[in-house]
Amino acid sequence: MAWKNLKQLGLVDGFLIEHKALTEIIRKICFRRIRVELCLTAWK
């Protein structure tokens, strides 16, 4: 089972490398969302 998970991670890594521009966009969106959530929790 662990080997299957490692294989899936390898496939995911390959996908991320192939779609690096896409992952950069997703990462920026996620960081922005986290920042917004931190600001909101700070204001509460």
Domain boundaries of the chain, sorted by first residue: 19-44
State pLDDT tens for residues 3-44. 576 677 666 777 766 777 777 877 787 788 878 887 778 776
Give the Cα separation of 9 and 32 in Å (integer).
25
Distance (Å, whole) CA 15 – CA 23 = 10
Residues 16 and 23 sit within 8 Å (Cβ to Cβ): yes
Kindly report the pTM of this predicted structure. Answer: 0.36
What is the reported pLDDT for 40?
Answer: 77
